């Protein structure tokens, strides 16, 4: 019986650790909430195809918002072993460092979907442009442009058998502050008989995304916070773009499909409330750090290896060693770094 108990206990521990790794990304539209020092960072990185709401927590009056457009899809090929599809472009980036918000108000967000893959064959579908990511905070609307799709490689391509490069753009970028307005990097054209075009890198907070190399298969290097473009290939189907905003690489060879671009992303950063009664806070700020202590209103606290170290039912300040902890409460999990 003791042996069975130990087996069950080990299984539960493994299940819990797996849940910790997975659940934060599936609470809502790929949401993760991380508390680092005095700031709370909420990131949405999965496109549902529909807008959704972020509810401003109690005590929050100003937020910083970053948006990445989605990466462009890549081109496929028709019937010829030497044909090479073009790479998709990286998504654009905008940031507004100070937007006034009202506690309890819902603000609308929409994550751009990665551009669709180009089809195979002479009449294959054209690769899609990455979707724009948009965050609406009252009269302030931020939009980051998606990257252009790469071209299919057919006998009528110009030049023949080579897919064209997807183009990065900042044409729809709006709502940014200062100069935080950057385009994604261009994809690379396919090179017949050699390789497909690499994807362009997403833009980021430090500048434009890098273009995919035209000299080799290297994908574009992303700006800070974005994803690099996928590298071109010399055989097989295309490589999908990585979120946020990475462009896909083209397919290579006879009748190969392209791939989808990486999804966009929206990140909201704000000063974690410290003066509001914790019991009235939303789940996204159920726990916070104050003077080096973990403060929470309810829930269970686990260390980085999944061991429960505290269970709280009312506002409590916990003195813990520096490290990573997880607070589980109301079907929500927060990651807290001390």
Same domain, 249 and 284: no
Name the domain boundary from 240, 256, 271. Answer: 271
Q: What is the pLDDT of residue 29?
A: 53
The pLDDT tens digits of the residues spanning 151-206 come to 999 988 888 899 999 999 998 899 999 999 999 999 999 999 999 999 999 999 99
Same domain, 66 and 167: yes
Residue 34 lies in a domain: no
Cα(140)–Cα(98) distance, rounded to whole angstroms? 11
Same domain, 163 and 53: yes
Name the domain boundary from 256, 271, 286. Answer: 271
Domain extent for 331:
2-29+278-337
Tell me the C-alpha to C-alpha distance, in Å, between residue 119 and each of 83, 149, 245: 13, 12, 21
Q: What is the pLDDT of residue 241?
A: 97
Same domain, 199 and 324: no
Same domain, 169 and 260: yes
Q: What is the pLDDT of residue 282?
A: 38
Residue 12: which residues within 8 A CB-CB, separation 6 or more? none
Same domain, 267 and 282: no
3-state SS assignment for residue 191: strand
Same domain, 142 and 241: yes
The mean per-residue pLDDT over the stretch 224-234 comes to 97
Same domain, 186 and 300: no
Residue 257: which residues within 8 A CB-CB, separation 6 or more? 76, 117, 118, 119, 120, 124, 237, 238, 251
Q: What is the pTM of this model?
A: 0.75
Q: How many structural domains comprise the chain? A: 2
Residue 62 lies in a domain: yes
Q: Is 178 left (phi over 0), alpha (psi -120 to 50) or beta?
A: left
Of 269, 84, 69, 258, nearest to 172 (Cα)? 69
Angle at 285 between CA 283 and CA 291, to 5 degrees: 150
Residue 63: in which H helix or E strand, if any? strand 62-68
Same domain, 249 and 313: no
Measured in whole angstroms, the distance separating CA 333 from the mean position of its chain's CA atoms is: 19
3-state SS assignment for residue 294: strand
3-state SS assignment for residue 8: helix
Same domain, 304 and 179: no
Name the domain boundary from 271, 295, 328. Answer: 271
Residue 218: which residues within 8 A CB-CB, separation 6 or more? 198, 212, 231, 232
Bigger pLDDT: 13 vs 216:
216
Same domain, 232 and 89: yes
3-state SS assignment for residue 4: helix
- Residue 274 above 70 pLDDT? no
Same domain, 133 and 194: yes
């Amino acid at each position: 019986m003791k042996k069975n108990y130990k087996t069950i206990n080990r299984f539960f521990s493994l299940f819990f650790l797996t849940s910790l790794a997975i659940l934060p990304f599936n609470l809502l539209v790929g949401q993760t909430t991380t508390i680092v020092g005095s700031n709370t960072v909420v990131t949405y990185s999965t496109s549902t195809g529909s807008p959704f709401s972020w509810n401003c927590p109690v005590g929050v009056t100003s937020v910083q918002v970053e948006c990445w457009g989605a990466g462009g899809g890549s081109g496929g090929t028709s019937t010829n072993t030497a044909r090479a599809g073009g790479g998709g472009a990286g998504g654009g980036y905008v940031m507004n460092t100070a937007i006034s918000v009202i506690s309890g108000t819902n603000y609308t967000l929409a994550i751009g979907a990665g551009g669709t893959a180009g089809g195979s064959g002479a009449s294959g579908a054209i690769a899609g442009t990455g979707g724009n990511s948009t965050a609406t905070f009252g009269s302030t609307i931020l939009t980051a442009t998606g990257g252009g799709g790469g071209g299919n490689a057919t006998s009528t391509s110009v030049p023949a058998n080579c897919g064209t490069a997807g183009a990065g753009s900042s044409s729809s970028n709006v709502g940014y502050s200062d100069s935080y307005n950057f385009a994604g990097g261009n994809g690379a054209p396919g090179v017949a008989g050699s390789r497909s075009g690499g994807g362009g890198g997403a833009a980021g907070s430090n500048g434009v995304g890098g273009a995919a190399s035209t000299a080799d298969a290297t994908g574009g290097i992303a700006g800070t916070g974005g994803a690099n473009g996928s590298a071109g290939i010399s055989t097989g189907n295309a490589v999908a773009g990585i979120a946020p905003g990475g462009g896909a690489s083209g397919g290579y060879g006879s009748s190969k499909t392209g791939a989808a671009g990486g999804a966009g992303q929206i990140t909201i950063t704000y000063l974690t409330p410290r003066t509001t009664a914790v019991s009235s806070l939303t789940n996204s700020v159920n726990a916070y750090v104050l003077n080096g202590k973990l403060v929470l209103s309810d829930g269970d606290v686990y260390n980085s290896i999944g061991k429960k170290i505290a269970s709280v039912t009312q506002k409590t300040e916990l003195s813990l060693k520096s490290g990573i902890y997880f607070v589980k409460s109301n079907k929500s999990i927060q990651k807290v770094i001390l």
